[in-house]
């Protein structure tokens, strides 16, 4: 079992359009169309130890995972990002299993969930990464400016790189307003064997949610003014 990292990073296309403009003005505020429910998921290969030699786990989960030559497939409407593949693991070869309805090599893969988190009440929301193997990353933008302009105004990043027997929880609280869509991305990768991800959030009323049903949205039609 390899030691691993958790990191939340920005999606190419969703988070990375670079334009020189003042992010505090209306020119950087996009118009969002009608959303569909759930996150948009993209699955990528992870070949061990080849990819591990290219850089650190932090580098991989931040910028190296989503190359075109590693792309497998994509799915819409994902609200449950958690999975637990611990038993019947092949020690010296690929292990197959189901993640979000996709039959994949759970022993070595990467998945990116991108979209918007839309709160149903105003107040502090606490996002948590619990048990993970090899790494999980959560990135949340507190505005939509970065979709149209290069400037990142407010961003929260949570990352956890560890193996399954370390159950240390990483968490961060963010004040959010009801009905406001906040760009969000969750990235997970597994190098070898056990595949576990445990992500949750606590709403302002103190209720714990282990999935994003009713909160995760994806806007296919994002229009910028520039």
Q: DSSP string of 183-195?
A: EEEEEEEE-SS-E
* Residue 9: band (very low, low, confident or very high) from pLDDT cuts 50, 70, 90: very low
pLDDT of residue 22: 44
For the 26-223 domain, the top CATH level (class) is mainly beta
Q: Which of 210, 217, 200, 211 is nearest to 38 (CA)?
A: 217
| pLDDT tens figures, 156-210 | 999 999 877 777 899 999 999 999 999 999 999 999 899 999 999 999 999 999 9
With 70 as the cut, is the pLDDT of residue 15 above it? no
Give the pLDDT band (50/70/90) at residue 151. low
Higher pLDDT, 92 or 117: 117
Q: What pLDDT shows up at residue 23? A: 41
């Amino acid at each position: 079992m390899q030691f691993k990292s958790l990191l939340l990073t920005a999606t190419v296309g969703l988070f990375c359009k670079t334009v020189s403009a003042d992010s505090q003005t209306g020119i950087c505020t996009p118009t969002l169309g009608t959303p569909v429910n759930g996150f948009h998921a993209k699955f990528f290969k992870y070949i061990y130890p080849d990819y591990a030699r290219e850089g650190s786990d932090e580098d991989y989960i931040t910028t190296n995972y989503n190359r075109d030559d590693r792309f497998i497939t994509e799915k819409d409407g994902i609200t449950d990002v958690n999975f637990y593949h611990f038993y019947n693991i092949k020690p010296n070869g690929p292990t197959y299993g189901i993640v979000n309805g996709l039959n994949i090599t759970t022993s070595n893969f990467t998945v990116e969930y991108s979209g918007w988190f839309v709160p149903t009440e105003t107040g502090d929301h606490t996002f948590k990464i619990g048990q993970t193997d090899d790494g999980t990353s959560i990135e949340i933008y507190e505005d939509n400016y970065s979709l149209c302009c290069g400037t990142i105004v407010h961003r929260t990043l949570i990352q956890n790189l560890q193996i399954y027997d370390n159950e240390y929880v990483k968490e961060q609280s963010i004040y959010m307003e009801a009905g406001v869509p906040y760009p969000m991305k969750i990235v997970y990768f597994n190098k070898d064997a056990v595949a576990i991800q445990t992500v949750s959030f606590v709403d302002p009323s103190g209720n714990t949610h282990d999935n994003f049903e009713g909160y995760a949205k994806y806007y296919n039609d994002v229009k910028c003014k520039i």
